[in-house]
A and B are shown apart, each in its own frame.
Chain A
Amino acid sequence: MTIKRGFLKVSLLAALVMLVSLVLAACGDNTATPVPATTAAATKAATTAAGATTAAGATTAAATTASGATTAAATTAAGATTAAAASTLTGDIPIGAVWSLTGGAAIYGPSQKNAADMAVDEINKSGMLGTAKIKLITEDDRSVKEGGIPAFDKLINQDKVVAILGPTLSSTALATNPVAQDKKVVVLGVSNTAGGIVEIGNYVFRDSLPEASVIPNTVKATKEKLGYKNVAVMYGDDDAFTKSGYDVFKKALDDNGVKILTTETFKKGDTDFSAQLTKIKSLNPDAIIVSALAEEAAGIMSQGRQLGIPTTVKFIGGNGFNSAQLAKLAGAAAEDAISGAAWFISNDANGNQNFVKAYTAKYGTAPDQFAAQAYAGVYILATAIKNTGAANSTAIRDSLAKLKDIDTILGKFSFDDTRNPVHTPILQIVKNGKFELFK
């Protein structure tokens, strides 16, 4: 018994040690500020110079180091004076970014991070914000709310950011954005398309066109061009994205007077769609509407064609189609698949081709829509900061709300009264395994 109690004491002690170490670790993180680092570097350079002068024979080296140190010192001094003199933009503007770099959504996060980093570099180099620089602080949310909520807390409380880009997933945004709204920090979602996001409050914006604005356009335009009257609908009912896509499709089809012959469902990860497709084939629809992510959409297309659904019956879908994976997985069956999208790689919007070129050169792969919207998001924020000339969150909020018809790689861009994006969505069709503009 006494031994057991001894164990208990020891274990309690261990718990205490753990807690203390946790506290210390967290505190250590707090104290790391970038400002002393520069000072330290300057001092180091100065001391090196001093040390070198005493040593004979190394005069040249000493001179260079010394001059380097002076320049560094001079710049710091200059920076300080500007900060004191003018009340406009100077120094670092801390902006946070929360991406899903690991976990389930890790296929989207990295391209967002790449594009946002690239945009920040460009803006800082171009002097778009004068002497001020954007300091982008990127955090990973592990694709879960349990990672996103602490990431927002850290950015808001410790890094004191004026605005946050992201988070990648809509479901995370629903949990994290109320915190930012509460603390009056601007959030600009660049990939959130679900409902209820901008409704959180007047500090929450997004530049990602929700499916609710893309799909009605898709239905209207394809109905005009293809003239279909009866369609079959398929959707994934266990995924928030494909389910809400279906809801919008249904409404748009009803509004356009299209008759839905049947509605079939499937689950994420399903590979066999033959039962649903056989039923659809027997009903002879004019077109098949599919609200699915690329993997399932590819399966549906290839099995549909195998079952003998004629190629005149086109597959029409939402943003889930908008992936290079689709044509890769479905091959010839993906041919003529039509989908609406917010961005298109060959679009001739101002700067888009430069962006595609620069991104491809830097990262070795072509950008996707997630990259494009993140890139545009950084520019939209920077434009708002430039317009208002102040780096505080409320000023940026007001400035963002006033943005009208600015040039972005997504096209002419504005925010509407509900802080949703306004720009023309495009329609694309798969031709020879590549997306082309649907005309």
Chain B
Amino acid sequence: MPDFISNNIATINFSLINIALGLSIFITLFTGMLSLANAGFMAIGAYTAAVIATRTDFPLFGGFLLAIIVAVVVAIIFGLLIVRLREIFLAIATLGFGEIVRIFFLNGDKVVKAFTGDENTNVFNGAEGITIKYKSPQDILGLPETTWPLLLYVAVLIYFMITLQKSRFGRVLSAIRLDESAASTLGINVVRYRLLAFVIGAGIAAGAGALSTPIVRVIEPRNYVFGRAVDILASAVLGGMTTWIGPVLGAILLTALPEILRFLKDQREIVNGLIIMIAIIYLPRGISDPRFWSSLWRKRKSGQGNAAEVATEKEKEVKTG
């Protein structure tokens, strides 16, 4: 394993987890829904996988599949209730969902006790959470075995996002985001597609939660507080929401930046915050904003001469934009 990877494996792992989470909120944002429920679905995924890992002999993949199934079922039930809500109302309802999930895992044992009548059941273990036994990860083809599933998962998700944006389904979601009433007059069942996007987002978040268990190792309710939902949203906002590249870049930046800045010691958090603030102010459409990069690209070209072409392109821009 190259030194760079082995030295930064934790950062790489957390980046991959956050990319998956960023993509999970991207799909709902792409449909024009501001959903903050993804931290809750991540918790559902992580707890399902952790319970499977500590109580059965199933491999991680089993926990991963079950986590997605559980999250999808919960998302369908909850989604039917809230999918007609708009904008800030949806945000508040989903935020509430995240808290319900967290509090459920905090007190889940009381529910289990009430059902089984056994005083000594400790499935979720309250505030202390579930601790996954650490196994020294073996290297497979130059990467630890815990990183491979995450990498594959993220690769599959990115492939899904690329095809989504070109597919009919993706265009339907786009249409709903741009103008809901126009979309419904075209015969699109808005509610069904919104529900579908919500459920897919939930499934992705749960999968990320499940695959994060061998890396986070302690699954406790504190991991999935409101701040986590904001972090997930932040990677999409910072990266940009126009293409799937946005959440990917945003997640990498938000995860890696604090680690890269470690040499700053006490000033680290200040510089970290400053960089993010500057990025948001000067790139309000995210760091992956295609307009910003293409204008940079054009400037570079104009530096090599041919100012006339730039002028015409600018004219074009004025006309179109």
**Do A239 and B127 touch (CB < 8 A)?**
yes
**Do B253 and A18 touch (CB < 8 A)?**
yes
Known: A10-B290, A157-B6. A240 touches B128 (CB 8 A): yes
**Do A237 and B126 touch (CB < 8 A)?**
yes
Q: Which of chain B's residues have a CB closer than 8 A to the CB of A147?
A: 258
Interface string of B241-269 (1 = CB under 8 A from A): 00101001100110110111011011011
Q: How many residues of A contact B (CB 8 A)?
A: 53
Interface string of A1-36 (1 = CB under 8 A from B): 000001110111111001100110111011010000
Docked Cα-Cα span, A10 to B291, in Å, equals: 10
A350 at the interface (CB under 8 A from B): no
**Do B4 and A27 touch (CB < 8 A)?**
yes
Known: A14-B293, A158-B7, A182-B136. A32 touches B245 (CB 8 A): no
**Do A8 and B243 touch (CB < 8 A)?**
yes
**Do A142 and B260 touch (CB < 8 A)?**
no
**Do A154 and B216 touch (CB < 8 A)?**
no
B291: nearest chain-A partner, CB-CB: A7
B12: nearest chain-A partner, CB-CB: A150
Interface string of A179-190 (1 = CB under 8 A from B): 101100000000
**Do B128 and A194 touch (CB < 8 A)?**
yes
Q: Which of chain B's residues have a CB closer than 8 A to the CB of A243?
A: 126-128
**Do B260 and A11 touch (CB < 8 A)?**
no
Q: How many residues of B contact A (CB 8 A)?
A: 49
Interface of A (DSSP majority class)? helix
Interface stretch (choices A170-178, A218-226, A313-321, A425-433): A170-178
Interface stretch (choices B58-66, B80-88, B173-181, B217-225): B217-225
A146 at the interface (CB under 8 A from B): yes
Docked Cα-Cα span, A259 to B153, in Å, equals: 54
Interface string of B90-113 (1 = CB under 8 A from A): 000000000000000011000000
Minimum CB–CB distance from B170 to chain A (whole Å) comes to 13
Known: A10-B297, A240-B220. A142 touches B262 (CB 8 A): no
Docked Cα-Cα span, A298 to B126, in Å, equals: 24
Partner of B263, one of A32, A150, A153: A32
Known: A22-B252, A150-B10, A171-B218. A140 touches B127 (CB 8 A): no
Q: Which of chain B's residues have a CB closer than 8 A to the CB of A30?
A: 3, 7
B8: nearest chain-A partner, CB-CB: A26
Minimum CB–CB distance from A166 to chain B (whole Å) comes to 15
Docked Cα-Cα span, A179 to B223, in Å, equals: 20
A296 at the interface (CB under 8 A from B): no
Docked Cα-Cα span, A421 to B160, in Å, equals: 53
Docked Cα-Cα span, A376 to B218, in Å, equals: 28
Interface of B (DSSP majority class)? helix
Minimum CB–CB distance from B209 to chain A (whole Å) comes to 14
Docked Cα-Cα span, A243 to B3, in Å, equals: 42
**Do A244 and B294 touch (CB < 8 A)?**
no
Q: Which of chain A's residues have a CB closer than 8 A to the CB of B127?
A: 237-240, 243
Interface string of A232-244 (1 = CB under 8 A from B): 0000011110011
B9 at the interface (CB under 8 A from A): yes
Docked Cα-Cα span, A11 to B265, in Å, equals: 32
Q: Which of chain B's residues have a CB closer than 8 A to the CB of A139?
A: 262
B115 at the interface (CB under 8 A from A): no
A302 at the interface (CB under 8 A from B): no
**Do B294 and A18 touch (CB < 8 A)?**
no
Docked Cα-Cα span, A59 to B286, in Å, equals: 60
**Most chain A beta-carbon contacts within 10 A, residue among B263, B265, B290:** B290
Docked Cα-Cα span, A194 to B8, in Å, equals: 28
Q: Which of chain B's residues have a CB closer than 8 A to the CB of A101?
A: 266
Minimum CB–CB distance from B115 to chain A (whole Å) comes to 19
**Most chain B beta-carbon contacts within 10 A, residue among A30, A138, A238:** A238
22 residue pairs A–B, Cβ–Cβ below 8 Å: A7-B293, A11-B288, A14-B249, A18-B249, A27-B4, A29-B262, A102-B269, A138-B265, A140-B269, A146-B216, A149-B14, A150-B10, A150-B11, A157-B6, A157-B7, A158-B7, A171-B129, A175-B216, A182-B134, A196-B131, A238-B106, A240-B128
A interface residue numbers (CB < 8 A to B)? 6-8, 10-15, 18-19, 22-23, 25-27, 29-30, 32, 101-102, 138-140, 142, 145-147, 149-154, 157-158, 171, 174-175, 178-179, 181-182, 194-196, 200, 237-240, 243-244
